[in-house]
Structures are given as C-alpha cells and as structure tokens.
Structure 1
Amino acid sequence: MALLDSLSEIDLMGIQLINVAGMVELILRFSVNLIVTACIIGWLYYGKSKRRDYVFTFTLISTTIFLLIFLLGNEKLQVGMALGLFAIFGIVRYRTETIPIREMTYLFLVIGVSVINGLAESVSIVEVLFTNVLFVFMAWVMEGSSFISSEGCKLIIYEKIALITPEKRAELFADLKLRTGLEITKVDVGHINFLKDIAYLKVYYKNQTKEINTVDQITKISQFNG
C-alpha cells in the first residue's frame, strides 16, 4: 500500500503516474461490465444463434465504448457522447450486409449496458448491479418466452410460377410443404421473372426447434459470410 501511495505521488510531465482510487474503480466497473456482457452475449445470444462473428463484434464494441466513456468521464462529454454513440450504432452497417433485427437489438443492448456502467459515477454499486441484472433478466425472459411466436422465414426462388396465382394457393402450399418438409403458414409472392419462369417467394413456417437459422434470408453465395 505504501508503494502505491508513493507511486501516486510521482508526476511525469505533469501527469500523475497512477491514480490508485481511479484504477480500482476502473477494474471494478470493467469487471461488472465484462460479466454482464458475457452473460448477454455468450449465454443468451450465442446460446441460440451460434454466430461467433457477432460475438466478436459485440464484445469488442462493448469494451471500446465502456473504456471510451469511462476515461472521458471528466471531459463533460458524457451525455453528448452517449447519445452520439447510440445514433451512430443505431444505423451502423458492416460492408454491404445490413445487420438483422435481432443482432441489432443485442448491439443496442450491449451499447446501453456499457454506457450505463461507464457513466454511472454518482450511482451506488448496488444500483448499478441491479440495473445490469435487470438487463440480463429481460433478455433472458424474451429469449425464452413461449408467448412470442417462433416463426421462421425463408426466401425461395420458385420455378413453378403457374402455382402462384390466388386460386392455386392450396396447391402452392402443398408443393412447398412436400419439397421443404416445413409446416408452411404464409407465402408472400415477390418479383416474378416470366422470361426465366421463376418467382421470389417469402415463405413463413413454424419453427419447432425455436433455434435461430442465420441463413434463412440468403439467396446468393455472395451473401454468405459464415
């Protein structure tokens, strides 16, 4: 302890070598933030989606935002920076791929958790912990809720365009069910190409396993990113 006190008195070009109280607070708050984001990302999100690419993204974004907010906490930029980060990441896109709604929600969630943990200097530790627990609890409830329909959706390039007419809707459902093995609930007909005799269908089906299919909406090899 005496060593830390002596080190805290050392200045390098007017900058304190170490702020013991500040370092302890940083380690404590970062630990809380890391544990909470690990629960949200590793347990709730990855447990269903198995998307390692987004786990990597969410974790580093959470860490970056927390450290940015915490270390600039004395520059009177807190509220403006927090709102700016929400605005920027609210419309963020990676290359040409739009982030799916579920992934966007988790991104917004980890940003919110990181901002709260980084800004809440005047709030007690118990209140911060309780707030984080509420975040995890609500995400867990919504992921496991039986009241939310677990309906999947696929984009299908369909060649039997004679069946897309309204009067042959029953035959269309039967053909799709036979060929996909899925319990079809709804079909939306999109672009029709009469030159190639194909139509783009958006097929909704009952997802019995309640697992997230990350390639349901992919129709081209170029859209597949693993």
Structure 2
Amino acid sequence: MEFLDIPLFDDDFYKMMFRFVINFTFLTLIIRFIYYPFAKRKDYVFTYYLISAIVFFLCFTLKKYNLDIGMALGLFAIFGIIRYRTDPIPIKEMTYLFVVIGVSVINSLANKKMSYAEIIGANALIITVLIIIERYWALKQEESKSIVYEIIENIKPENYDILKSDLENRMGLKINKVTIGDVDFLKDTAKVTVFYFNNNQD
C-alpha cells in the first residue's frame, strides 16, 4: 500500500530498528561507560548521542539510493569536521566525536557483503581499543601552578620535604615536584612552581 506515492511499510524497517539497537548498544558502551567516567562532561554525552542518532538514520536513509563507498566517505568527512560556534572542541572530545560518527556510519551503511558477525566484531574491537587506551595506555598530563610562598625558611634545599608537605596540605594536591623561582628577602616571600597530575586523571 502507498500513500502519496510513498509505501506505508517496508521490510527494511525491521533491519533499520535492529541495526539501531546494535548501534545504540555499542554507543552506550563507548559514551556512557568509557568516555564519561574519565571526562565527566554531560554536555558532550548529550551531543554524542544526538549526533550519532542523526548520522545513523541519515546514512541509513540515503543508503536506499545505493550510495557508493565514495559518497559514504564523503558523508563521513562532512560530519567529521563539525564545529560549534561556541568554544573550540578539545582534541579528546573531537576524537570521540569522530569515533561515534564512524561507528554510526559503519552500522548503518553495512551491506550484504558484511555479516552481522563482522559488524559486531568491528564495534567490539573499537571498544576494546578505547578501553585499553583510556585505562592502561593513556599518559597522564602533568600540570603546573605558580604561587607566592611566604615561609621563606622552607625554600632551603634541606627543607624540601617540609616545603612539599606544607604545599600539599594547603592545596589539597599530591605534588610531584616543587621548583623555586624569584626570592624576595625584603618581603620574605618566594615564587614557587608546583607540578601535579590532574585529579581526573588519577
């Protein structure tokens, strides 16, 4: 049956819904259980889910027009360079955006030449790589902060441990090292730089 030259139902509906369930399941593993525990960015979680859903349905719909691999890669490139008119997206968030778009494109454009075992295997491998990199291979980025320190006695080399312990208690950070900068003996102050890892990366 048709209405205004458009079929009321198509057997591809079941295929679309099944593919969407697969896509949504793997995206939830990526976004909610890999990305969010490390980044704690709820705004990007919302963005990733919505963009991935739109990309999936758009690609699946356009697939009805028998797109070739060149057009598929073109769509992938278009969505991969999305930018917002607000602050620039950090590199890590941009990478995850690339990942969720890529997963959605794979799950929506796979044809008869690709089995469900290959689709699920590809998704599983992507998740495995993300877990390994996030939990085991991700290098911690050391941050630094310069402060004015007033206990001038503690800047002596022999009092380094006392200086470090005092700064850790005051700042609530686990400090890796402390360097001494300019010293003002008239005001009994010194500029010190503390180096530490961000708590979100511990």
The two structures share one fold, judged by TM-score above 0.5: yes
**Superimposed CA distance per residue, residues 136-182 of structure 1 (whole angstroms, 9 cap, x where no aligned partner):** 1111111111x43222436x5x576xxxxxxxxx9xxx79x936444
Q: 2-side partners of 1:89 and 1:186: how far apart?
A: 44
**Is 2:120 the partner of 1:129?**
yes
Residue number among 9, 19, 29 corresponding to 1:18 in the alignment: 9
Q: 2-side partners of 1:186 and 1:124: how far apart?
A: 57
**Is 2:81 the partner of 1:94?**
no
2:20 aligns with 30
Identify the structure with the greater helix proportion. 2
Residues 42 and 55, structure 1, Cα contact 8 Å, conserved in 2: yes
Q: 2-side partners of 1:24 and 1:186: how far apart?
A: 62
CA-CA distance at 1:28 after TM superposition:
0.5
Residues 38 and 200, structure 2, Cα contact 8 Å, conserved in 1: no
Q: 2-side partners of 1:89 and 1:184: how far apart?
A: 41
1:219 aligns with none
2:32 aligns with 42
2:183 aligns with none
Amino acid at match of 1:117: N
Q: TM-score scaled to structure 1, two decimals?
A: 0.65
Q: TM-score scaled to structure 2, two decimals?
A: 0.72
Residues 151 and 204, structure 1, Cα contact 8 Å, conserved in 2: no
Residues 76 and 105, structure 2, Cα contact 8 Å, conserved in 1: no
**Superimposed CA distance per residue, residues 5-26 of structure 1 (whole angstroms, 9 cap, x where no aligned partner):** xxxxx1223221101x201100
1:206 aligns with 197
Deviates further, 43-52 or 74-83: 74-83
Q: 2-side partners of 1:130 and 1:148: how far apart?
A: 24
Q: 1-side partners of 2:22 and 2:120: how far apart?
A: 8
Residues 141 and 198, structure 2, Cα contact 8 Å, conserved in 1: yes
- The 5-angstrom pairing of residues 60-79 of structure 1 reads 60-79=50-69
Identity of aligned residues (%): 40
CA-CA distance at 1:118 after TM superposition:
0.7
Q: Unmatched 5+ residue regions in structure 1?
A: 1-9, 161-169, 188-200, 212-226
Aligned length: 179
Residues 185 and 206, structure 1, Cα contact 8 Å, conserved in 2: no
Aligned residues: CA RMSD: 3.5
